[in-house]
Structure 1
Amino acid sequence: MIIRPAIPSDAPGIAAIWNDVILNTSVTFTTETKTTEGLIEDIESRGHGFQVAEDQGQLIGFATYSAFRGGPGYAHTKEHSIQLAPEARGQGAGRALMSALEHAARQEGVHSLWAGVSGENPDGVAFHSAIGFEQVARLPQVGFKFGRWMDLVLMQKFLDLSR
């Protein structure tokens, strides 16, 4: 398995993984699928803040971060997304992706990373807990998808150990 920064030609593979999650799971509350063009823009603008996992030439997952909220006061706080192809889960790709993403974030001066995890995704909560994220809030019924309301679990990890 190789972990590396995403490049524009990864966009179709990223879209395939992400859109499957969007269309078929409650892991994310969004219903808007990702486009190759939009992902190319994200890859080009985020640099090392967009990492992919590749196994035998196949894209098996990605992790990226973006602004937590607008405004200069939030510049050192990022929210991340991580998704794996079903066959890659439980094989260490998630941990490897997050390690690379955290390294890139530290290099950029990010103080903390946030994860917004669906309350219907206990595996996602467990994964983030196992890699050092702490649950700081549970927002009841803030997401709506598949005809039902869902909770959002907010988790945070401080990257700047001098806090």
Structure 2
Amino acid sequence: MHIRRAVPADAEELCGLLNEIILAGGTTALETPLTAAEFADWFIDGEFPLVCHVAEHDRSLVGFQSLSVYGDPPKGYADIATFARMSPRISGAGSALFPATRAAAEELGLEFINATIRADNVGGLAYYAKMGFEPYDRLIQVPLLDGTPVDRVKKRFKVDAKPSPASPV
């Protein structure tokens, strides 16, 4: 698997990957599909994204991970978003992306990377725990578009933290 920085030309393929996840439901707080232009603005080259990396496998983009400052996070924090292709699923994209994102966070002088995960997203909660994120807050019963309340778990990663021996990072 090859990891590189995302470029605007990636927006259409990555938008398709993300929209498949959005339409499947249940794992992302995003509920409305994006256009390629919206995707580029939100994740690659708009006002709020700091960096976005893609995972390539067999000439296909199989995942991406971004850091952004949307929503005015505290000084020294950036939000992370991680998405991997659902079909065909390629195992390990998220784990392969995190070292590049972590290195970028260090270069940007960030203190923490924040992940806000739906409490019903078991896979997402496990992924961020595996990467070394620690829970620190919980948003209670945030309504989905249909009104269904779903908690959000906030986890953070201390950027200067050293990876544990068991960590793939």
Q: Which runs of 5+ in 1 are unaligned?
A: none
Pick closer, same or farther for the CA change 1:136–1:49 going to 2, 3 Å.
same
> Bigger shift: 14-23 or 32-41?
32-41
> What letter is aligned with 1:51?
H
- Structural mapping, 1:75-94, within 5 Å: 75-86=75-86, 87-89=88-90, 91-94=91-94
SS at match of 2:144: strand
Asked if residue 44 in structure 1 is aligned to residue 57 in structure 2, the reply is no
Q: Give the C-alpha shift of residue 32 in structure 1.
A: 2.6
Match of 2:137 in 1: 137
Q: Is the 8 A contact 1:6 1:52 kept in 2?
A: yes
Q: Is the 8 A contact 1:22 1:30 kept in 2?
A: yes
Identity %: 28
RMSD: 2.2
Alpha-carbon distance in structure 2 between the residues aligned to 1:38 and 1:69: 16
Deviations 1:80-103 (A, max 9, x none): 1000002335x2211111111111
Match of 1:115 in 2: 115
The alignment covers a number of residue pairs equal to 159
Asked if residue 127 in structure 1 is aligned to residue 124 in structure 2, the reply is no
TM-score of the aligned structures, taking structure 2 as reference length: 0.84
SS at match of 2:120: coil
Alpha-carbon distance in structure 1 between the residues aligned to 2:14 and 2:98: 16
Q: Which has the higher helix share?
A: 1
Alpha-carbon distance in structure 1 between the residues aligned to 2:158 and 2:112: 4
Match of 2:2 in 1: 2
> What letter is aligned with 2:45?
E
Alpha-carbon distance in structure 2 between the residues aligned to 1:121 and 1:80: 15
Alpha-carbon distance in structure 2 between the residues aligned to 1:146 and 1:38: 22
Deviations 1:2-23 (A, max 9, x none): 1100011110111011111222
Q: Is the 8 A contact 2:79 2:114 kept in 1?
A: yes
Q: Give the C-alpha shift of residue 123 in structure 1.
A: 1.2
